[in-house]
Chains A and B, each alone.
Chain A
Amino acid sequence: MEIKKTAIAGTLESSDIQLTISKADNGISIDLQSDVKKVFGDQIESVIKDTLAKLDVKDAKVKAVDKGALDCVIKARTIAAIQRAAETTDTPEWEVL
């Protein structure tokens, strides 16, 4: 899936994560801010990367501001941000969700 514009999903409320996805040329880069980065940083990044891979996003710049979100929330916010950035919100790929 191709990222066409910058899009945001999620809030800065406790237990949520806010993801901003924008265009990039060479692969995936993730800039993560989190109070639990020391102990869950790797896990958060791997959930975001896995979700991007599942939706076949190869090039994207991701900014993630985490407020203690659980994996299911991170996954949901990532999917929403990708669909908004790829302008596919009207035709979601149900089968990969």
Chain B
Amino acid sequence: MKSKVNRELPDDLMKQLNYQPFETTEIGNPEIQRVAPKVHVSTGDDKIVDSIKKVVDETLEDGMTISFHHHFRNGDYVFNKVMRVIIDAGIKNLTLAPSSLTGVMNDMVIEAIKAGTITNITSSGMRGSLGDFVSHGGLKNPVIFRSHGNRARSIEHGDIKIDVAFLGVPSADRLGNANGMKGDAVFGSLGYALMDAQYADKVVLLTDNIVDYPNTPASIKQTQVDYVIKVDKVGDPDKIGSGATRFTKDPKELKIASMVNDVITHSPYFKDGFSFQTGSGGAALAVTRYLRQAMIDNQIKASFALGGITKPTTDLLNEGLVKKVMDVQDFDKGAADSMHTNGDQQEIDASWYADPDNKGAMVDQLDVVILSALEIDTKFNVNVMTGSDGVIRGAIGGHQDAATGKLTIISAPLVRGRIATVVPDVTTVVTPGDSVDVLVTEYGIAINPKRTDLLAVLSNIPGLPVYKIEDLQKMAEKRVGTPKPLEYTDRTVALIEYRDGTVIDSIKQVKD
């Protein structure tokens, strides 16, 4: 069985897990049924508990699905505290369904897998020792990777049925009204966790900061919460995100950023009221700076900026160059603080952000989007999941979702060290080439041949050489040489879902 991007999929697993292969980026207009959580009725006066153990004993059973959010990123204390108790309680066969997994969780996840506590995982991504462990066959069942929008879709469909959600928050009141903006370990938007709060059967908040009732603004509401656990510390503020993301000084990244800016400003989308999403990488941030000047020079204002937000974006909001920031996640303290003080920075949940099975998601309204890539191939397929050694070391994040924007730009260097970024075939297809429009490298750009309209407007711009993507690929290979093909075993260690819940590619166990 093959997906439309010509990837062989494991027939047995596809059948066993009732999956269809990826066909198209078009979602269409199907009618779907969403699920609803169970409610244990209470007036809410006895939610405060001071023991994780008590809550685990009352709520968890073998075989359940548990979830966490990753808004604390590498400053997270909640995941390890809770998993420690769950492992020690001897609970087995859990499905771990967090919004994503960060490095600080790796050792605990590996321990939980070895103990039989966790036997299934679905996540946006994984890196470091955990990615290595899974790629070497450490987990029996395949990991299911889903984009942020697809996780929201899966939760709404009931494909992910969360029994207990453990959600760390920097402030909550005794009934569970909570937000990510007040307290010591603030991270701003609770975007990904809002799905869990809305759809999990049991919602457990953990906080180090119980404030007077009622806590406002209430991102998570008391109507959703079963328990509020008081803990010492939920996170390390210094490791949640840098104080303010700094601009790159790398000349290569600056060159790519300036070329991305040229592509945007010469495109038909660059007009008053346009919308955009940039990532948090060095080049993406520098694009924001170039774009700012171009917007001032041309007297153009953006209607909204979307996605993971950084301070350079909230600066545009404060300057009036961007009218609204639609915020599912904040990457630095500047952006997190701004959410607290600026009413035009709207917290949005993952469904509103990017869920395809929706009455309209923000990504559907997006004009310009700048994304990164570990690899991009001559079919414009993008890999953000596996490294040049075939080992899992990335995350889908919102890549597949945001790529549905009207002008999707992949910004990436032609080569990184000895590894070519532009390749004949990516190691793992995450985002299909059909949703990618332009590749920008430091040597020049390539336009998806399906976008003849862009080819017409972007050719003949001074300082912006246009190549066929095959030529960029050859240019890269000439510099670094031809790599030896990677070797894998027959065993599937992960499946990559497309945002509509079909399977686009699989990851095999690496051979060492």
Say if the beta carbon of B419 comes within 8 Å of chain A. Answer: yes
Tell whether B483 is near chain A: CB-to-CB under 8 Å: yes
Q: Which residues of A contact B480 (CB under 8 A)?
A: 40, 70
Contact B481 A43 (CB under 8 A): yes
Residue A29 is within 8 A (CB to CB) of chain B in the complex: no
CA–CA, A38 to B386, complex, Å? 14
Contact B484 A35, beta carbon cutoff 8 Å: no
Judging by beta carbons under 8 Å apart, are B389 and A35 in contact? yes
Task: Kindly supply a per-residue 1/0 record for chain B positions 388-402, scoring 1 wherever the CB is within 8 Å of any chain A CB and 0 otherwise.
Answer: 111000000000000
Say if the beta carbon of B271 comes within 8 Å of chain A.
Answer: no
**Is the pair B418, A40 in contact by a Cβ cutoff of 8 Å?**
yes
C-beta contact mask, A19-63 vs B, less than 8 Å → 1, else 0?
000000000000000011011111100000000000000000000
A86 within 8 A of B: no
| B481 pairs with A38, CB closer than 8 A | no
State the Cβ distance, B390 to closest chain A Cβ, in Å: 8
Instruction: Check A39 against B417 for contact (C-beta < 8 Å).
Output: no
The CA of A36 and the CA of B418, in the complex, are separated in Å by 8
Q: Is the CB–CB distance between A70 and B388 below 8 Å?
A: no
Given contacts A35-B389, A39-B388, A39-B389, contact A69 B418 (CB under 8 A): yes
Chain A residues, CB < 8 A from B388: 35-36, 38-39
Instruction: Give the size of the chain A interface in residues (CB under 8 angstroms).
Output: 15
Q: Which residues of A contact B481 (CB under 8 A)?
A: 40, 43, 70-71
A39-B483 in contact (CB<8A): yes
Say if the beta carbon of B479 comes within 8 Å of chain A: yes
Q: How far is the CA of A35 from the CA of B390 in the complex (A)?
A: 12
The interface centre, meaning the residue of A35, A38, A41 with most chain B CB atoms within 10 A of its CB, is: A38
Shortest CB–CB separation between residue A68 and chain B, in angstroms?
3
Q: How far is the CA of A14 from the CA of B419 in the complex (A)?
A: 12
Q: Is the interface of B mostly helix, strand, loop or mixed?
A: loop
Q: Which residues of A contact B416 (CB under 8 A)?
A: 68
Is the C-beta of A4 less than 8 angstroms from some C-beta in chain B? no
Q: Is B486 an interface residue (CB 8 A)?
A: yes
Q: Would you list which residues of chain B between 457 and 512 have a CB under 8 Å from chain A?
A: 479-481, 483-486
Tell whether, in the assembled complex, residue B479 and residue A38 are in contact, meaning their CB atoms are under 8 Å apart.
no
A38 with B484: CB separation less than 8 A: yes
Known: A36-B388, A38-B389, A39-B389. A68 touches B418 (CB 8 A): yes
0/1 per residue, B401-434, Cβ < 8 Å to A? Answer: 0000000000000001111000000000000000
Q: Which of A61-87 contact B (CB under 8 A)?
A: 67-71
Shortest Cβ distance from A92 into chain B, in angstroms?
27
Q: Which residues of B contact A42 (CB under 8 A)?
A: 484
Whether the pair B479, A36 counts as a contact (CB closer than 8 A) is no
- What's the least CB distance linking B475 to chain A, in Å? 14
Smallest CB-CB separation from A38: which chain B residue? B389
Question: A39, B479: Cβ atoms under 8 Å?
Answer: no
CB neighbours (8 Å) of B390 from chain A are 38
A15 part of interface (Cβ distance < 8 Å): yes
Q: Is the CB of B389 within 8 A of A15?
A: no
Please measure, in the bound complex, the distance between the C-alpha atom of A69 and the C-alpha atom of B418, giving whole angstroms.
6
A69: nearest residue on chain B (CB-CB)? B418
Question: Given known contacts A35-B389, A36-B388, A38-B389, is B484 in contact with A67 (CB within 8 Å)?
Answer: no
Tell me the complex Cα distance, A39–B417, Å: 13
- 7 A-B pairs besides A35-B388, A38-B484 with CB distance below 8 A are A35-B417, A38-B486, A39-B483, A43-B484, A68-B417, A68-B418, A70-B418
Residues of B within 8 A of A (CB): 388-390, 416-419, 479-481, 483-486
Closest 3 interchain pairs by CB? A68-B417, A39-B483, A68-B418
A residues apposed to B, CB below 8 Å? 14-15, 35-36, 38-43, 67-71
